[in-house]
Structure 1
């Protein structure tokens, strides 16, 4: 048993010492592949778009607050049981994008917002309101931007995003980076689009990730980092070891029982 453990240890050491550069380092040969740099427009032009079931916060302001009051949902406060005065902080109401991609907006009626970016929706509402109000300021927020990180990362789980976009590298960083057992060459992205699942693979050792159309994540994307060969091998060895121990214990128990039986008979 000790010989087997020592043998496995030596193999693991050899494996990691030989594979450190090729399996663990990110963006290998970056300078050779992109000696002229990467066009910044490739990375900056992406903006998240509104989709059905999104929850939006929309607020309109102007020099005269009373002039735009009709274009804002009323803030609501809650009176808890036992209270006689409303002392809680008012909560701004939100808009749910229905399955057709629409919201019902005060005074403006039904607006089709699906497919628009946050800035485009701000401009759309502003263009309709400025007919009645001079220089309105419209602020739109998307409150449902989240992604899920699973597998061999240090902090798996759901990540809420406050900005307009997040890259695959941002997401990995927010999850605490990959563990030493994470497979860096075959990261899986699962995305739902128009009711269908899309699948894409990332290779973090290849600088081409920066020009991938999937570099920026979308709402509700799921990123899965599968275990590498070292983790799979160690897990398999652990199962085999546990099985061997169980079998050995059973055999020893049986021998002890038989020995006790013989002793009893001969006595």
Structure 2
């Protein structure tokens, strides 16, 4: 009977091994995409400024003295719970308040939330040029970070310096997925104006490029869950440990009972 079962077990093992690449390889079928598919997947994305963002803003002109009122001495704003913020840029930082405004020198309150960096730059340049001809403005978000948890090589928070970051960029920053990662069900948790929303990504499918979650936003949380193989191993290990604990308890109890019985008989 055992001899008959052995070939079946071997075949099933081989089939399981052959299925592994299907769960590991990224962008499967990308070579079969048509030009129309690629056009559909193209998307433009620009980071928008949100409440609680921290901005550095620098105003320049040919004569730096005339824009000095718009560039006060630098200071660092560190939100509660944070150990550091990029203040090494030697520029004043501006916190976007809950109503979406920053308090800017000379101009007073300027609305920033909901605007892209380019839109805020245009708005500031338009107003500052009423005072200084040809003034130029540079804006940078300095507290743009994402958190990546689960089956990645180096889980944790990552500070982003670029204007935009994709899920692929983010995974590259933490050393890629582990072999035990479920590549078909990556969870993105996002805060959208105080409301939590989430989406799922499958990096084995090239359709990921068309997902609204392909590009990440400030404070997104990425969670990569373990694949079924690791879940089974974890369950087996837990069950095995539980069984060993039970057996150890029974043996200890039996030893105690035996010791008591022997002691009673000697009396």
Q: What TM-score, normalized by structure 1, do the two folds share?
A: 0.84
Task: Please list the CA deviations of residues 211-241 of structure 1 after superposition, one character each: whole Å capped at 9, or x if unmatched.
Answer: 1122100001111111111111111111111
Structure 2 CA distance for aligned equivalents of residues 200 and 152 of structure 1 = 18
The residue aligned with 2:232 is: 233
Of the structure 1 ranges 14-23 and 171-180, higher mean CA displacement relative to structure 2 is found in 14-23
1:58–1:182 distance in 2 versus 1, CA, 3 Å: same
Contact preservation (8 Å) 1:76, 1:90: no
Partners in 2 of 1:15 and 1:230 — Cα distance?
15
Cα pair distance change 1:76/1:21, threshold 3 Å: closer
Matches within 5 A, 1:187-266: 187-264=186-263
Inter-partner Cα distance in structure 2 for 1:90 and 1:25? 40
CA distance in 2, matches of 1:160, 1:246: 44
TM-score calculated relative to the size of structure 2: 0.84
| Residues 1:30 and 2:3 are matched in the alignment | no
Partners of 2:89 and 2:194 in 1: CA distance? 37
Distance 2:207 2:34 in 1: 9
Q: Cα gap change, 1:161/1:16 in structure 2, threshold over 3 Å: closer, same or farther?
A: farther
**Alignment of structure 1 residues 124-203 onto 2, 5 Å:** 124-203=123-202
What is aligned with 1:85? none
Q: Give the root-mean-square deviation of aligned CA atoms.
A: 2.6
SS at match of 1:53: coil
1:113 aligns with 2:76: no
- Structure 1 unaligned residues grouped into runs of 5+: 1-9, 78-88
Partner of 1:19: 19
Is the CA contact 1:148–1:159 (under 8 Å) kept in the aligned structure 2? Answer: yes
Per the TM alignment, residue 244 of structure 1 is displaced from its structure 2 partner at its CA by 1.3
Alignment of structure 1 residues 78-93 onto 2, 5 Å: 91-93=90-92
Q: 1:83 — aligned with what?
A: none
What is the aligned residue count? 246
SS of the residue aligned with 2:38? coil
What is the SS of the residue equivalent to 1:38?
helix
